[in-house]
Amino acid sequence: MVTKKLLAPSILSADFSNLSQQIRLVEIGGADLIHCDIMDGRFVPNLTFGPMVISSIRNITNLPIDAHLMVENPENLIDSFIEAGVNYLTVHQEAVVHLHRTVDYIKSKGVKAGVSINPATPIHFLNEILEFVDLVLIMSVNPGFGGQKFIHSSLRKIKELSKIREEMGYNFLIEVDGGLTKDNIKDVSNAGCNIFVVGWSIFGNDNKTAATTEFKNLINNNN
Ligand code: DX5
Ligand code: ZN
């Protein structure tokens, strides 16, 4: 049984003019990973940043970097992100034709390989890849923007995936991304989530350190 509970603040809603300070604030609050959303303006209708920014983040934190690639043809970018120092590299099932090859390649470089699915993609589309991945990221909003509302049916998908993992004896982590708040995070945790991506609810808060600690306590059932 995979019982790990990790908090991954997403810097998508952070103040990019002061990124190192913003990351420091969540580090102090107890963040376990730094979630970085890479968007290409094609796979999703928004643009963010690339390997150069990841490289700068690598220089200012020892926390693992969790890179979520919302891009078309991510295969072409994998080497640059790995060289920039990511620890987890997640691609979208919808964006990759030869998913097994891509997952295998990421793992061969000593980086944890993740596969993500959009809200409209069913869990069973992952059946043939589950035994090979380190992480499955379930999008609980349509990717592209921070601060959106959690899509409630995602809970059913998390439970379904968690059940398959249990039955098959797999060890991948389940990550949930989008619309997590203090009000829904316990349900998400009980459904089987291991890595909780929280963007707006942390970086949109006046006290980012306190918000981080509060989420950490919630996922660990301390209050
Ligand atoms: C959405 C991104 C998320 C986003 C989550 O496309 O993948 O990581 O930052 O942010 P919130 O918590 O604001 O929904
Ligand atoms: Zn993300």
Q: Is the CB of 144 under 6 A from ligand 1?
A: yes
Q: Relative to the CA of 140, which ligand 1 atom is closest?
A: 14
Q: How far is the CA of 204 from the centre of ligand 1 (A)?
A: 12
Does residue 179 have its Cβ closer than 6 Å to ligand 1? yes
Nearest ligand, measured from the Cα of 147? 1
| Catalytic status, residue 177 | yes
Ligand 2: distance of its center to the CA of 122 in Å? 18
Q: Is 66 an active-site residue?
A: no
- Ligand 2 centre to CA of 68 (Å) is 5
Give the C-alpha separation, 197 to 37, whole Å. 11
Question: Within 13 Å and on the Cβ side, how many CA atoms surround 18?
Answer: 6
Give pairs for 27-32: CB < 8 Å, separation 24+. 27/61, 27/63, 28/209, 28/212, 29/208, 29/209, 29/210, 29/211, 29/212, 29/213, 29/216, 30/212, 30/213, 30/216, 31/7, 31/63, 31/212, 32/6, 32/7, 32/8, 32/63, 32/64, 32/195
Ligand nearest to the CA of 200: 1
Which residue in 32, 134, 177, 206 is the catalytic one?
177
**pTM over cut 0.85:** yes
Residue 193 pLDDT exceeds 80? yes
pLDDT single digits (tens) 121-156: 999 999 999 999 999 999 999 999 999 999 999 999
Phi, psi of 124 (to 5 degrees): -65, -10
Q: Which residues contact 108 (CB under 8 A, 6 or more apart)?
A: none
pLDDT at 63: 98
Any atom of ligand 1 within 6 Å of the Cβ of 157? no
Whether 222 shows a pLDDT value over 80: the answer reads no
Residues of the chain above pLDDT 90, percent: 98
**175 Cβ below 6 A of ligand 1:** no
pLDDT tens-digit series, residues 83-110? 999 999 999 999 999 999 999 999 999 9
Among 46, 197, 203, which is best to mutate for testing ligand 1, by the most ligand atoms less than 8 A from CB? 197
